[in-house]
Amino acid sequence: MDDTVSASRTPMEDYIYEFYSSLPHDVIIVSGAQVSQIDTQIRNMPAFRLGQNGNQAINPQNEELWTEFLTEEHAEKILEHVEKIRAEYDGEIRNHDDLVEHRGAQIGYSLIGHNEALERKRACDPDKNVRLSLLEKIPFESDDIEVRIGGTTCFDYFQKGRHKGFNVNRLIEHMGWEKNNCIYFGDAIFPGGNDETVIGVIDTHPVKNHIHTYEVLKEYFG
């Protein structure tokens, strides 16, 4: 969602909302965010919402398809790793209470804050190298939890194997769709990115930002 469908934590622009709403295709939004946050950003457009990397799935009729929750032990292990990264990161943080979100099926950790100003978030780690370097320096070792880079400034922690690729495949099988009729757009289709796991599940199309996604879709379907 962030930087693929809309800017980080920002509702879709009018012209993008109108175009996506007019598409005759099934639209599926896959995000590290909770479904409630997805709904805000897509302005309640009817769509399948795979929140928390797909571990919270809601159909266009607002019916829950599934939800997978982290245990207390999972959360403790994740927060231990978060604290190590926080100690290593030397960037400016204005609101320390805005860094960690326990979303139920996933914990999201933002380097500078989930609700920080958009321009600061974009400048924080535009090429993802800061977060990749931090994970290389402080690897997360767990038998049942994994971490992926997501959004503009985030690390996404969730149950091992329950990533976007797994849940995209799960939805396709649940709905009885043909994989060759599906395509996935993402801004993090790179090693360590939270879109990488969809490679090999269905066709993928990397994008630079949400405007790029709109331009490509407009070219194909406009």
Q: Closest by alpha carbon to 183, among 199, 194, 196, 197?
A: 199
The CATH architecture annotation of domain 14-68+164-187+208-221 reads: 3-Layer(aba) Sandwich (3.40)
Distance, CA of 203 to CA of 197 (rounded, Å): 12
Confidence label for 137 from pLDDT (cuts 50, 70 and 90): very high
Calculate mean pLDDT across residues 182-195.
94
Domain with CATH 3.40.50.1000 in the chain: 14-68+164-187+208-221
Helix (H, G, I), strand (E, B) or coil at 44: coil
Locate the DSSP E strands across 23-150.
28-30, 48-51, 56-58, 64-67, 100-102, 107-110, 145-150
pTM passes above 0.85? yes
Locate the DSSP E strands across the chain.
28-30, 48-51, 56-58, 64-67, 100-102, 107-110, 145-150, 154-159, 183-186, 203-206
Q: Please say if the pLDDT value at position 192 is more than 90.
A: no
Calculate mean pLDDT across residues 109-136.
96
Domain with CATH 3.30.1240.20 in the chain: 72-159
Distance, CA of 97 to CA of 114 (rounded, Å): 10
What residues contact residue 190 under an 8 Å CB cut-off, 6+ apart? 128, 196, 206
According to CATH, what is the number of the domain 72-159?
A: 3.30.1240.20
